Amino acid sequence: DTQMTQSPSSLSASVGDRVTITCRASQSITSYLNWYQQKPGKAPKLLIYAASSVQSGVPSRFSGSGSGTDFTLTISSLQPEDFATYYCQQGYSPPFTFGPGTKVDVK
């Protein structure tokens, strides 16, 4: 199985900050990497697919990059509605494992 790690596990930030979350796969997954946002009591929401494609309706402040084993999710200017937990997921080979999550909270 492909193991996914994320760093940091949590971070505190302020509105307007630039936030970067890193995801690493235990083996190459080419660009088959997705990013989700989850808020308490809600279903995950797809933000980024195929490493860098922004899902329709997702604000342009969200962007993704990377390939192979190392990936990044960037929020260019954090907004109040962005405080949530973010997960990466590999879609290269089953099981389509998720990273452990990164919780973004208020500084």
Smaller CB separation from other proteins, 15 or 59? 59
Smaller CB separation from other proteins, 32 or 62? 32
32 makes contact with other proteins (CB under 8 A) = yes
Smaller CB separation from other proteins, 45 or 61? 45
E-strand stretches of the chain: 4-7, 10-13, 19-25, 33-38, 45-49, 53-54, 62-67, 70-75, 85-90, 102-106
Considering only 23, 34, 37, 78, the residue that binds other proteins (CB under 8 A) is 34
Considering only 31, 66, 84, 104, the residue that binds other proteins (CB under 8 A) is 31
Indicate the residue type of 21: I
Binding piece for other proteins, criterion CB under 8 A, among 13-21, 75-83, 92-100 = 92-100
100 makes contact with other proteins (CB under 8 A) = yes
The answer to whether the Cα torsion of 38, 17, 106, 6 is positive or negative is: positive
Indicate the residue type of 91: G
Can you tell me the distance from the alpha carbon of 72 to that of 47, in angstroms, rounded to the nearest whole number?
Answer: 13
